[in-house]
Amino acid sequence: DADVTQTPRNRITKTGKRIMLECSQTKGHDRMYWYRQDPGLGLRLIYYSFDVKDINKGEISDGYSVSRQAQAKFSLSLESAIPNQTALYFCATSGTRGANEQFFGPGTRLTVL
Amino acid sequence: GQQVMQIPQYQHVQEGEDFTTYCNSSTTLSNIQWYKQRPGGHPVFLIQLVKSGEVKKQKRLTFQFGEAKKNSSLHITATQTTDVGTYFCAGPLGTSYGKLTFGQGTILTVHP
């Protein structure tokens, strides 16, 4: 089984709809992150959480909110989706030892019409 | 704000040719990480460099961290079709260890 999973993998929605993207991990990591990827812009950090009670805004948090339901679960919500939120969304986790490398989920491709 | 710039954005090579991507930061970095994303896949960690002037090799891949710790490079010798994908560098965002700011990525295409 994959260590970091994301649901759904693909979603098409309409402008103004509320959308939730979910992320679960079995790596036992405290740190979790949400990124969006757009062509030519790399990966941009939306929100991050270093433990269950710690939530922080990243570079581009406007229009998004998150919930850390448990150590293993971190959800990203778009309260009222707009077309420029069409992107590939990745969840990632990291530990606190060694290189602190990030482990990414498979991604959710979101299209807002 | 802190920026990590990566060039080129695209690189097309013939199989067997070498490839290099460059990463430059506007500020000194405590470390730099490199990731590879295969087409349709997710980023996968390759390596972290920490020391000034550090050079690390992984088979045909050579990673360098500049003396001033503001730039880095990834060089692939004799590319293969399995090397296709997007290569990202990433440095710590701000002073908090654990957050990363990613470069825009270099998309490598290898023609057989």
Per-residue pLDDT of chain B (112 residues; tens, 9 = 90+): 568 999 999 999 999 999 999 999 989 999 999 999 999 999 999 999 999 999 999 999 999 999 999 999 999 999 999 999 999 999 987 666 678 999 999 999 999 9
Q: What is the pLDDT of residue A97?
A: 72
CA distance B77 to chain A (A): 24
Show the DSSP H helices in B1-112 as ranges: none
Q: What is the mean pLDDT of chain A?
A: 94
How far does A75 lie from chain B, in Å, by closest CA?
A: 18
Question: pLDDT at position B1, please?
Answer: 58
Distance CA A113, CA A48 (A): 27
State residue B93's pLDDT score. 73
The pLDDT of residue A39 is 84
Residue B9: the pLDDT is 94
Q: What does the pLDDT read at residue B95?
A: 64
Average of per-residue pLDDT across A70-83: 96
Query: Between A and B, how many CB-CB pairs are < 8 A?
Result: 57
Whether B93 and chain A come into contact, CB under 8 Å, resolves to yes
Type of residue found at A104: F
Q: How far apart are the first and last CA of chain B?
A: 41
Q: Residue type for B98, please?
A: G
CA–CA distance, A23 with B110 (Å, rounded to integer): 33
CB atoms within 10 A of CB B102: 24
Neighbouring residues of A34: CB distance < 8 A, sequence distance ≥ 6: A21, A23, A45, A46, A47, A48, A58, A64, A66, A74, A76, A89, A90, A91, A92
